[in-house]
């Protein structure tokens, strides 16, 4: 089922027709619902089906009205175009779980599998983003919603004690960065998305492997296994786009793109909210003071473990150096 979801997402990158993208989006939604149901989250699958159906119907009918598929009078159509474009924007934001259409995610993802959160945060957002790229521009409404989403996501993360909901709001923040990125440069967006997907998978796989569901599980796991502390720090720093990780340079590319379009306000806003978002990650996971890193690497008796840590660092640096020429 997951492989089919990957294939549908990959195929959608080669199309720009609205109806084909809408059709692929519905197929991927059905696959996602089936995946949730097979993991014995039947109530969640029904709830997601309702949300997905409402947003898809609003999206389809608004598009049909805008393009006069119902043979309406032209005068009436022109008056309502802005309204239908607004409905399209909000219906796509509902699909993406973006502010202010995000409240359903609190119910949906609070007690669900991390892999479901991974698929929602990555693959399920590709086609709605493609629809935004093909049929909407960075105009006043979308611009305003971006500002509000970038502002609200870190504050919603700060108020959360649930790891799962914290990552859902983190996904909202990442999606807010991807929207201007895909509109300005789909090549850089694709690179950013791939790195975001890989870092998300590694982090969520770690949390699933050690059966971590809340902050207490994480603290106990790190307390009894110092090596896992280093591994988790590497994963969370990559995910939160902390320098010198490669994901940081991808965010730097977005700032560069916005600067080139003279969008200084959004650039500065993203920089400040990114700093606040990174602080949230480090603070929530008790990494801001590195309390568990007092013991130096050279005091660890297990040489193999030491080498693994050094290998991890070298891989991170190697990826950074390798991809830097692609930034320009």
Output the tens digit of pLDDT for each of the chain's 328 residues. Answer: 678 899 999 999 999 889 999 999 999 999 999 999 888 888 899 999 999 999 999 999 888 887 765 544 444 445 466 788 888 899 999 999 998 888 899 889 988 889 999 999 999 999 999 998 887 776 778 888 999 999 999 888 887 778 888 899 999 999 999 999 998 888 889 999 999 999 999 999 988 887 777 777 776 666 556 666 677 888 888 888 887 788 888 888 888 888 888 888 889 899 899 888 888 887 776 654 444 444 443 333 443 444 444 444 444 444 444 444 444 4
Q: Give the per-residue pLDDT at 305.
A: 41
Region of residue 290 (left: phi > 0; alpha: psi -120 to 50; beta: else): left
Q: Which residues, other chains included, contact 154 with Cβ-Cβ below 8 Å and sequence gap of 6+?
A: 169, 173, 273, 276, 277, 280
Enumerate helices (H) and strands (E) in the chain, giving the number of each: 15, 0
In the three-class reduction of DSSP (H, G, I as helix; E, B as strand; rest coil), residue 36 is classed as: helix
Q: Give the per-residue pLDDT at 226.
A: 62
Gap between the Cα atoms of 228 and 274, Å rounded: 26
Number of Cβ atoms within 10 Å of the Cβ of 187 = 10
Cis status of the peptide bond prior to 148, with omega within 30 of 0: no
Burial grade of 230 (CB within 10 A; 0-12, 13-18, 19 or more): buried
Q: Give the per-residue pLDDT at 234.
A: 84
Q: Whole-structure pTM over 0.75, yes or no? A: yes
Cis status of the peptide bond prior to 244, with omega within 30 of 0: yes
Q: Give the per-residue pLDDT at 135.
A: 79
Q: Tokens for 189, please give them.
A: 């967006």
In the three-class reduction of DSSP (H, G, I as helix; E, B as strand; rest coil), residue 214 is classed as: coil
């Amino acid at each position: 089922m997951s492989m089919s979801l990957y294939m549908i997402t990959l195929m959608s990158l080669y199309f720009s027709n609205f109806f084909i993208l809408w059709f692929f989006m519905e197929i991927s939604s059905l696959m996602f619902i089936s995946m949730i149901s097979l993991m014995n989250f039947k109530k969640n699958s029904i709830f997601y089906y309702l949300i997905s159906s409402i947003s898809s119907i609003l999206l389809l009918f608004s598009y049909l009205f805008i393009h006069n598929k119902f043979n309406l009078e032209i005068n009436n159509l022109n008056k309502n175009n802005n309204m239908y474009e607004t409905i399209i924007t909000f219906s796509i934001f509902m699909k993406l779980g973006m502010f202010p259409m995000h409240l359903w995610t609190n119910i949906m993802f609070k007690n669900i599998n991390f892999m479901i959160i991974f698929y929602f945060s990555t693959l399920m957002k590709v086609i709605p983003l493609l629809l935004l790229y093909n049929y909407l521009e960075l105009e006043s409404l979308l611009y305003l919603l971006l500002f509000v989403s970038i502002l609200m996501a870190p504050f919603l993360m700060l108020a959360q004690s649930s790891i799962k909901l914290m990552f859902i709001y983190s996904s909202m923040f990442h999606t807010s960065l991807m929207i201007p990125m895909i509109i300005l440069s789909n090549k850089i967006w694709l690179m950013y998305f791939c790195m975001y997907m890989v870092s998300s998978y590694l982090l969520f796989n770690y949390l699933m492997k050690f059966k971590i569901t809340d902050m207490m599980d994480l603290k106990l796991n790190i307390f009894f296994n110092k090596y896992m502390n280093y591994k988790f720090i590497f994963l969370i720093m990559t995910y939160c786009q902390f320098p010198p990780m490669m994901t940081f340079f991808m965010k730097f590319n977005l700032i560069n793109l916005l600067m080139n379009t003279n969008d200084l306000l959004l650039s500065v806003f993203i920089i400040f909210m990114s700093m606040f978002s990174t602080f949230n990650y480090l603070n929530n996971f008790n990494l801001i003071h590195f309390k568990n890193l007092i013991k130096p690497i050279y005091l660890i008796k297990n040489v193999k473990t030491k080498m693994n840590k050094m290998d991890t660092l070298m891989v991170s640096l190697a990826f950074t150096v390798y991809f830097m020429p692609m930034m320009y």
